[in-house]
Every structure is written in C-alpha cells, then in structure tokens.
Amino acid sequence: MSRLGVKPFAKVSPPFALLVCGFLLSRLWFWIQGLTFNDSCLYWFYQYLDVDLLENDLFASLWRLHAQPPLLNLLAGIGLKMTLPLGWWFWRIVYWGMGLAQTLLLFDTMKRLGVHAWLAVALVGAYMISPGVLLFENWLFYPYPAATLLILSTWLLVNSSENLPTRGLFVFFLVCSCLPLLRSLFHLVWLLGVIAILWFLRPKAWKRILLTAALPLLLVTGWYAKNLILFDTFSGSSWMGMNFARATVFRLPDQQREEWIKEGVLSKISSVGPFSPVERYMSLIAMPDATGFTCLDETRRGGSSPNYNHLSYIEVSKEYERDAWTVVRRKPLWWLGKIAQNLLIFFRPVQEFGLRSGNQSSIEGWESVYDRWVNGQIRPSDINKAVDGRLPAVSMWLALCYLWVLIYPMSLALGFCWIGTGRGRERLAKNALVIAFIIFNIVYLMLIGNIFEYGENNRFRFMSDPLVLILSSIALNNGFSRVKNRIGKNESKG
C-alpha cells in the first residue's frame, strides 16, 4: 500500500480486532436467521442486460450499453461466466468483502481524523449492523458498491491530504472515476467538482492534481464520448429524461396532464408512463432501424421483461426530458414543493423503498427495534401520511428517521465551520480538504437525488449516510473532549 502513496492501517489494536470479530459474528448470526444473498434482480431489474448476453457476449454488449454505466453489468457478467454455484459465491464473497472494507475503512478514517478509538467503534458498529447495510450487502445491486467506493475515496484522501503525494492522489482519482462508471447519479460533473475542490483548497498543487486526475478523467469522459458517438447522448445513462418526467410530469393531476397534451404543451409521449415497454411507444415516435445487435434490437430480455437498452428509449427519454423541463418552467413553485416532498422520502429508513430485496422477513424484528431506538422512527405506521404531508409537523418528523433528520443539517453546518477553522483547531484546519470532500458529496447526493428523481430517494441517502457518520463522529469527539476538559478544570480548581 505504501508504494501507492497510501499509508496502511495502523497495527491491529483491540478496537480494530473487536470490529472484525463483530462483523464476522453478526454476519454469521444473520445468516442463521435466514439472511442470504439475493441475485434475483438479474432477471427483472431495469439496470441489467439480458442474462444470456452477460454470460455469452459480455464485452460486446457492454460496449453497446447506453442505459447504464458499465461496471454493475460487468460485475454481474463475471459471476454469470462462472459455473453455478461459483458465481453466486463470487458475488457473496465480494459483497461481504465490501462490508468488511466499509467497517475497517470507516474506523480508520475516524481515527485519522482524531476521533477516539472506542467512540469510532461504537458508531461504526451501529452502522455495521443497521438494517439498510444488512439488506444492501445481500443484494446484487449498486448502492453497496457505490457506498464502498465513497468510503474508500474518503479514506484515500485522508491518507493523502497532508502533502498530496502523486501516487496517492492518482489512486484517489482512480477510485473516484469508478463511481460515474458504476452509478449514473455520479455524473462527469461530479468528478469535475471533486477536482475543483482539491484545486481550490490546495492551489499550489494544481499541476499535480491535474496530472493525477488526467487518466481517471479520461476514462469517464471516454465512456461519455462513446455514448455520444454511438447514441447521440453525452452521459453515462440515457434514462435521465424518463427519471425526470417521473419526478415532474407524472406528478401533475391526471386531468391537467391530459389537457396539456391536448393543447400541445406536452408531447404525446406523456400519455404513457416512463419505463413502459417499447410496444407502448411505437405509435408515438419513429422507431429506429435494426442494428443487428441483440442488446439494442430486442424489445424483451429473454422474451419476458422489457429490454431498457433498446435503441428507442434514447429518443423516448429525450421527449420525456423536454416535457419535464416544460413543467418546471410553467410551475416552478409547484416543482419546489415536490422537491420538498422528495426530501421527506429521503429521510425514510433506507431499507424502505419500492424495489424490495426479498430479505426483509429475515430481519423484520431487528429492523423494527433499530428504526425505533437508533434511527428515532417513533411512528413508522404514519410514514406514508408524513410523506404526503397529511400529518402535523411534529407527528410528521416522528414518522421519519428523526435522528438523521437532525444530524444531516447539523453535520453539514459544523462541517462548513470546520473548513474555515483557525487557531486552536489545528487538526480540523489540517483536515479541511477531507471535510470539504465529504460535504460536497453529501450535498451533491441530496440535491441531485431529490431534484431529478422521485420514489426511492431514501435509497440515495444510503450512500451518504457513512459520510454523515464521519462528520458526526468528529462533532461528538469534540463535544466529549470539551466536557472532559471542563470537568478537569473544575476538579483542579476544587
């Protein structure tokens, strides 16, 4: 690790060993309770190519993938190429490995930021056994790898922030480049934002920053350029319009939407719900010519679920996007109200969303206990009323994850203060770059995830929860230190 400009973990300590043992024992316990790895999403989730293509024509199909960035389908394809049950065990071990990595990286990050070891153990331990972590760790989907990459990139930056070594910076940017290639929510703009933060806070190192970011930036830009050349869309995913329309057009009252379609304000595409089968759009757009490639031409995957990588979805999505922006221009205040509603969904327990992993029954009792006593969800039965705004303010917050509703803004506010910390706070000033990176990611996920998406906004929060936990650990550590110092001063005076 040191050859890469990254400091390895410190020697094994009792807190470190306790976390490793706790992780292994907790996974064994929940396995006994029936929690198992779920790969059924391969056959019906929108994000995956046809299983037969992933198994037998992986790289050619990935090259012609416009619906999603490539890394999730690459991971799925590698497992499918292995003889069963080796593929299942491959995914199982990879996700367990990511879980252990998250645990140890979070602990070491907190330690390097000055948090007391046992406080870090308590916070990381609570995160490690949270229902959301347990469910996403047992699901072949991208939230868990994305959260792991965010934690890893933060840890790498903590290691490199003091003098920004060339090798350490390169590894950091390389890990960052994996996020836009895994999850389209992390746009190329996000990667440019990361580079800008480092440049702004360490202007003297601008040449080194640009040099080490060049290849990782080229990888992401290259994938976007490929999509521009082949599919006329400079992005990691061609679905932006469909997602945006779901968050805007299809939250209009049905009568108003139908009137606007008749008046020509909205296109006829808005008479059909986003992510409908190709057959529903055939009379509404000019269908593309056949390309000769199964992943672009077949309307169904394996003859059953829709193929959302069909070439027609590119034009469909563009039509939806135009309609979505029309709604935003005509009803800006209404749109802001819908974003506020999205934020309420954002603070639901992360494991509560439409696409269920099939493992909920295995941890149902633990989920109820954790949400009530750790997340602070006092009235879970009122969650849908809260999101729809049908509850008084106090009752509404009690139906959400009250703890996270509090610590998100508090952590962000403290983080902004720490970035500008002056004398007497040397450690915080030294780590301003890391704190700025953490804040940028939290704010980015809150804004982008809630402006352009609707329905599973709490799933986006899962990726930023560990970063909020890091900021919270610093705040708690500082608070405990102040109390301890005051007690010491009072005792000395006495």
Strand partners, 38: 139
Tens digits of residue pLDDT in 308-325: 999 999 999 999 999 999
Question: What confidence category does residue 361 fall into, taking pLDDT thresholds of 50, 70 and 90?
Answer: confident
Same domain, 100 and 174: yes
What's the whole-number mean pLDDT along residues 69-73? 98
Report the range out of 388-397, 413-422, 468-477 with the highest average pLDDT. 468-477
pTM over 0.85: yes
Residue 338 lies in a domain: no
Strand partners, 301: 305
- The CA distance from 255 to 268, in Å, is 14
* Least reliable range by pLDDT among 112-121, 162-171, 297-306, 356-365: 356-365
Residue 136 contacts residue 128 (beta carbons within 8 Å): no
The pLDDT of residue 381? 54
Residue 85: count other Cβ atoms within 10 Å of its Cβ. 9
SS3 285: coil
Residue 310 lies in a domain: yes
- The CA distance from 248 to 111, in Å, is 43
What's the whole-number mean pLDDT along residues 5-32? 86
Instruction: Answer whether residue 8 shows pLDDT above 70.
Output: no
Residue 426 lies in a domain: yes
- The CA distance from 309 to 312, in Å, is 8
Task: Residue 228: give the domain boundaries.
Answer: 2-237+344-493
Q: Which of 465, 329, 356 shows the shortest CA–CA distance to 404?
A: 465
Q: Which of 153, 102, 115 shows the shortest CA–CA distance to 440?
A: 153
Give ∠ CA 106-112-115 in degrees, rounded to 5: 80
- Which residue, 271, 295, 330, sits at the end of a domain? 330
Residue 13: count other Cβ atoms within 10 Å of its Cβ. 14
Same domain, 148 and 35: yes
- Which residue, 330, 360, 389, sits at the end of a domain? 330
Residue 450 lies in a domain: yes
Residue 223: count other Cβ atoms within 10 Å of its Cβ. 19
- The CA distance from 492 to 494, in Å, is 5
Instruction: Answer whether residue 334 shows pLDDT above 90.
Output: yes
Q: State the Rg of the chain over Cα.
A: 24
Phi and psi at residue 291, in whole multiples of 5°? Answer: -100, -20
What's the whole-number mean pLDDT along residues 165-181? 96
SS3 301: strand
Residue 18 contacts residue 12 (beta carbons within 8 Å): no
Residue 335 lies in a domain: no
* Choice between 451 and 369, residue whose per-residue pLDDT is larger: 451
Question: What confidence category does residue 408 fall into, taking pLDDT thresholds of 50, 70 and 90?
Answer: confident
What's the whole-number mean pLDDT along residues 19-40? 94
Per the structure, how many domains does the chain have? 2
Residue 336 lies in a domain: no
DSSP-assigned letters across all residues of 155-216:
HHHHHHTTT--HHHHHHHHHHHHHTTTT-TTS-HHHHHHHHHHHHHH-GGGHHHHHHHHHHH
Residue 339 lies in a domain: no
Same domain, 62 and 16: yes
| Cα 125 from chain centroid (whole Å) | 21
Same domain, 104 and 178: yes
The pLDDT of residue 422? 45
- Which residue, 299, 330, 361, sits at the end of a domain? 330
- The CA distance from 468 to 126, in Å, is 13
- Per the listing, tokens 């995830």 go with 449
Same domain, 250 and 226: no
What's the whole-number mean pLDDT along residues 166-179? 97
Q: Which of 39, 69, 66 shows the shortest CA–CA distance to 141?
A: 39
C-alpha distances in angstroms, 189 versus 8, 65, 146, 196? 31, 21, 17, 10
